[in-house]
């Protein structure tokens, strides 16, 4: 982060703008919106700035800028087309510790103007640190479209109920849940559709119905997808940003965790190298206990929670204990990896069905229905199959699969580290043994694999 974002209180504060052209006018208008008391110094004052004088009560000084002009100002903006003047303003401001912005000259700036989304009292600011202002403005335009103009009124309504809610609901965590349901539910909708009075009544009513000690904790069992953060669902993202606690395991990438609420507690329950994962029963109990303490808990799992994810066991415990929960599906590794490797799982010329199996070895044996898996015209996807790869290929051949049946191993699918190795049942195990393979990996077997060369589209770092 090259610049730290802060919001300055400029009401009635003296601010100086050097220059009085069109660009200076824009900065004057921005400062005026924040209630600043503005002095303008310029040799020539443009008509547009003259016009602003009456609306914003500017002090206009028609003269050249000199260092002595920079006295008790809270901040200064230099918007002239004279390099010497801009440098002098910047140097003097620096000497006097006054924040300075020189328009279009990031090196001379100690602060920069962000692109502003104004829904006062809600203000959002976007900055590219001066490196790509157009991009920041485009992003602002996008944000403008998703923040309804009435957000300001919603914030004012919330403000007017703040003390009442605080008195009625004592626990901070519970209060936050209350506010989130108000600000995302029907009260907000009423405000957005201009029905302020009704919104107020409904908020009042909801507060009255709220039991002060109600236990509002719940669990969201969320599939985080196979790795790429933008493969999360909207719902997953929304719930992650509300949660008080995130309980996550090994397959959840740091980039995905970064999308959770900043101050959420993060609890790792996956397997560490040489160490053991928290036993499943302990995870089930942990989730229930956190929810009983009134927390909103996200249980974040790689891929989809209901595909080789033990999600069923976790919600069973919650159900037994009467804890509210919801399950958010995620893109499972089979779907994500196959798509990013350019291997369709079904294809009219190759496979009419697709089977997901686990290749996890128990007592060094893989207990699968080999006869069924060796049948033609299908695709088999094997999760957790790297260790047993040799055994898997051997067993398929023994049960009738051709030795030259295509097979692919996909490492860290959908991420920039994705790697795809292809071969046949006879060749892939040796190929893999000679490579440095990084987990997680997924195996796809079937003639669909031949399409990889033609359909591969995703350019990973490896590619």
Closer CB to ligand SAM, 106 or 229, in the complex: 229
User: Binding of ligand SAM at residue 378 (CB under 6 A)?
Assistant: no
Of 308, 345, 354, 378, the residue at the interface with ligand SAM (CB under 6 A) is 308
8 A C-beta contact, residue 89 and residue 41: no
Choose one: 23-31, 194-202, 388-396, 410-418; the region binding ligand SAM (CB under 6 A). 410-418
8 A C-beta contact, residue 296 and residue 178: no
DSSP bridge partners of 101: 77
Set 9, 166, 271, 438: catalytic member: 271
d(CA 354, CA 339): 14
Closer CB to ligand SAM, 37 or 414, in the complex: 414
Following DSSP, what letter does each residue of 41-88 receive, concatenated?
EESS--HHHHHHHHHHT-EEEES---GGG--S-SEEEE--S-HHHHHH
3-state percent breakdown (helix, strand, coil) of the chain, nearest 5: 40, 20, 40
Number of residues that bind ligand SAM (CB under 6 A): 22
Least distance in Å: CB of 360 to ligand SAM? Answer: 8
Sheet holding 75-78, edge to edge: 59-62, 37-42, 14-18, 75-78, 100-102
8 A C-beta contact, residue 228 and residue 336: yes
DSSP single-letter state for residue 98: -
User: Binding of ligand SAM at residue 236 (CB under 6 A)?
Assistant: no
- Whether 275 is a known active-site residue: answer no
Least distance in Å: CB of 336 to ligand SAM? Answer: 6
What is each CA distance from 385 to 34, 67, 77, in whole angstroms?
61, 72, 62
Least distance in Å: CB of 249 to ligand SAM? Answer: 8
User: Binding of ligand SAM at residue 309 (CB under 6 A)?
Assistant: yes
User: Binding of ligand SAM at residue 412 (CB under 6 A)?
Assistant: yes
Set 69, 244, 249, 304: catalytic member: 249
- Whether 271 is a known active-site residue: answer yes
Least distance in Å: CB of 427 to ligand SAM? Answer: 20
d(CA 38, CA 16): 6
User: Binding of ligand SAM at residue 368 (CB under 6 A)?
Assistant: no
User: Binding of ligand SAM at residue 441 (CB under 6 A)?
Assistant: yes
Three-state DSSP at 450 gives: helix
Choose one: 106-114, 172-180, 332-340, 453-461; the region binding ligand SAM (CB under 6 A). 332-340
Closer CB to ligand SAM, 282 or 417, in the complex: 417
Residues near ligand SAM (CB under 6 A)? 226-227, 251, 301-304, 307-309, 332-333, 337, 383-384, 410, 412-414, 440-442
Active site residues: 249, 271
């Amino acid at each position: 982060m090259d610049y730290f974002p802060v919001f300055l209180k400029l009401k009635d504060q003296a601010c100086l703008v050097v220059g009085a052209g069109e660009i200076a006018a824009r900065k004057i208008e921005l400062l005026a919106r924040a209630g600043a008391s503005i002095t303008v110094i310029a040799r020539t004052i443009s008509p547009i700035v003259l016009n602003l004088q009456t609306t914003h009560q500017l002090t206009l000084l028609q003269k050249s800028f000199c260092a002595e002009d920079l006295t008790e100002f809270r901040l200064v903006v230099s918007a002239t087309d004279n390099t010497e003047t801009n440098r002098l303003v910047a140097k003097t401001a620096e000497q006097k510790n006054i924040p300075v912005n020189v328009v279009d000259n990031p090196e001379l700036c100690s602060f920069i103007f962000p692109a502003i989304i104004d829904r006062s009292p809600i203000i959002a600011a976007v900055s590219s640190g001066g490196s790509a202002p157009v991009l920041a403005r485009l992003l602002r335009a996008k944000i403008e479209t998703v923040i309804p103009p009435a957000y300001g009124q919603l914030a004012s309504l919330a403000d007017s109920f703040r003390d009442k809610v605080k008195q009625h609901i004592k626990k901070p965590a519970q209060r936050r849940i209350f506010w989130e349901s108000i600000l995302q539910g029907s009260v907000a909708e009423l405000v957005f559709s201009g029905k302020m009075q009704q919104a107020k009544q409904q908020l009042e009513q909801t507060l009255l119905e709220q039991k002060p000690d109600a236990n509002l904790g719940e669990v969201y069992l969320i599939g985080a997808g196979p790795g790429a953060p933008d493969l999360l669902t909207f719902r997953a993202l929304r719930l992650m940003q509300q949660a008080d606690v995130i309980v996550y395991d090994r397959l959840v990438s740091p980039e995905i965790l970064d999308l959770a609420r900043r101050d959420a507690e993060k609890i790792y329950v996956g397997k560490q190298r040489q160490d053991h994962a928290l036993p499943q029963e302990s995870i089930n109990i942990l989730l229930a206990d956190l929810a009983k303490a009134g927390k909103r808990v996200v249980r974040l799992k790689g891929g989809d929670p209901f595909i080789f994810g033990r999600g069923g066991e976790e919600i069973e415990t919650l159900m037994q204990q009467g804890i509210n929960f919801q399950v958010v599906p995620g893109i499972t590794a089979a779907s994500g990896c196959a798509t990013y490797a350019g291997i369709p799982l079904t294809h009219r010329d190759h496979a009419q069905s697709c089977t997901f199996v686990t290749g996890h070895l128990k007592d060094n044996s893989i207990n699968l229905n080999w006869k069924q898996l060796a049948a033609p015209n299908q695709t088999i996807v094997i999760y957790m199959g790297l260790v047993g790869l040799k055994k898997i290929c051997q067993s398929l051949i023994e049960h009738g699969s051709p030795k030259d049946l295509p097979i692919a191993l996909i490492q860290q699918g959908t991420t920039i580290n994705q790697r795809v190795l292809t071969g046949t049942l006879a060749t892939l195990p040796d190929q893999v043994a000679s490579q440095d393979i990084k987990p997680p990996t997924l195996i796809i077997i079937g003639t669909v694999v031949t399409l990889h060369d033609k359909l591969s589209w995703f350019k990973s770092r490896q590619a």
